[in-house]
Each structure stands twice: as structure tokens, then as C-alpha cells.
Amino acid sequence: MQEAAGPEAEPFPQERPTRRVLRQETLLVLALSLGASAVSALISFVGSVTKPGGLKDQAATLNASAAPGRPWLDLAWQLFGITTALVPVALVAHFLLREGQSLRTLGFDRTRPWPDLGRGAAIAAVIGSTGIAFYLAARGLGFNLTVVPEALPGVWWKYPVLILSAVQNAVLEEVIVVGYLLRRLGRLGWTPGTALAASSVLRGSYHLYQGIGGFIGNMVMGVVFVLLYRRWGRVGPLVVAHSLLDIGAFVGYALLAGKVGWLPTA
């Protein structure tokens, strides 16, 4: 006689997520990633503006040593941090998979490598030059901290880790703040303009630790990236552009700090 299947054998119900479920899912993804970073940046900013002295006399260090004087342990911590920072992207992929979609839905795949690379490089060239000028101006006016893109020891893994860190930042931010967030806000009934504002303000918010200049500059960049995403339907070029911008900032600072007069150092 065949035994009856237990409750654990029942098929998973294929139901369209309700708005409440989508809202909760979105909040959880942000709470585990860039939403939490925005709160952290706000607290850091409050600490900076209430500290005696001007903002430009303070420093915001991005890639610092996690274990000074112990390079192998330091490397382990660096790789651990880069890997775990990408877990929210895996979570987004999981949620999309449950809908029968994938990260390809957001245009994050290898189906169009050359157009993505070309467009990304063009974006980086335009934003990179204007971004440097804006940062220097904002710092000179006292609206920005001195940004120290890297403070890693001079060991063999320094530049590979800086490149990996740059790519991690790009993947995390563009997949979540542009592709995923805009898709979810659209499903929740937000207008295109409101969704653009939310994405851009969020991008600026988690850069507040750099000061007002970092907030405004990244918010403007967020507007440009959302408009380009809507035009192309792909986050791929944005990931390329963001990777190149951060690689230029991290590696460029490592090579030029203390050697050129126009680059501020802590």
C-alpha cells in the first residue's frame, strides 16, 4: 500500500508576489546592503560636521588595511569583505529566479560584451574628468572631506585587491540601486520620475560620509545612470563604467599620491 505524501512533499505554490511581499523584500535587500550603508554614511557625516575643524581637514579612507603588519591575514580579510559584500546581489538573483527571471532581466550578463564595454568606457571618460574637477572644487569650498581611496600596504596583492574592490562596488551598486530597485519600484506602482529620484537620492546618501560634495556628485551620477539604463535596458554598461571609475580612483591614487601637487592627501 502506497503511503500518503507528507506536507513536505507538497508542491511550492506558484503565486505572483503581492505588493506587500515585494515591499518587504525590497526593504530587506536594502537593509542588508546599500540602505544600511546610507544610514552609516549619515551617522558618519553628522560626526564629521560636528567635529571641530573643517570637512576638508578630515579624511574618509575607502580601502584601508584590516590587519596592519600582517599581510596574509590582511589579504584574507580583504577577500572576505569583497565576497560577502556581493551576497545581496546573490539574494536579488534568487528573488528574480523565483519569478522565473534572472539577472539577465536587468541586463547583467555576457550577451553583449563589446557594446557594454564601449558604452561603459565612454561613460567613464566623461564622468571621470568632471567628477575629479567637482571633487576638487567641493573640497576647496569646504563641502567635502579629503577622500583617501586606498591605504593598503605595499605588498604584491595591493593592486589586484583594489581592482576587485572596484568591480565589487560596481556590481553591488548598479545591480541593486539601478536594475533591481527600479524594477521593484515599478512593480509597486511608483512613477518613473519618483523612482528615478529615489534611486539617485539613495546613491547620494551612501556617499554622504565624503561630505556634501560626495552626496551631490553621486546623486547627479545616479540620475545619469538611471536615464541611460532606461535607454539601453541594461546595467552592464553601468557596471563597466563604475568599475573603470573606481579602478581609476583607487589605482590612480596609489600611483600618484604624494607625487603630484593637485591631488589632496590626508
Torsion, Cα of 79, 80, 83, 85 (10° steps): -120
Q: What is the pLDDT along the chain (266 residues), one digit of tens a residue?
A: 455 554 454 554 456 778 899 999 999 999 999 999 999 999 999 999 999 988 999 999 999 999 999 999 999 999 999 999 999 999 999 999 998 999 999 999 999 999 999 999 999 999 999 999 999 999 999 999 999 999 999 999 999 999 999 999 999 999 999 999 999 999 999 999 999 999 999 999 999 999 999 999 999 999 999 999 999 999 999 999 999 999 999 999 999 999 998 999 97
pLDDT for 166: 98
pLDDT for 69: 95
pLDDT for 42: 97
pLDDT for 202: 98
pLDDT for 169: 98
Residue spans of beta strands (DSSP E) within the chain: 59-64, 146-151
pLDDT for 15: 60
CA atoms within 13 A on the CB side of 108: 23
Measure the CA–CA gap between 228 and 119, rounded to whole angstroms: 10
pLDDT for 2: 52
Select from 220, 168, 169 the least CA-distant residue to 199. 220
pLDDT for 18: 87
Measure the CA–CA gap between 227 and 250, rounded to whole angstroms: 26
In this structure, what are the phi and psi dihedrals at residue 69, rounded to the nearest 5 degrees?
80, 0
Find cell 515591499 and name the residue. 23
**176: which residues sit within 8 A by CB, 6+ positions away?**
29, 30, 33, 34, 88, 89, 92
Find cell 551617522 and name the residue. 43
In this structure, what are the phi and psi dihedrals at residue 144, rounded to the nearest 5 degrees?
-135, 150
pLDDT for 14: 55
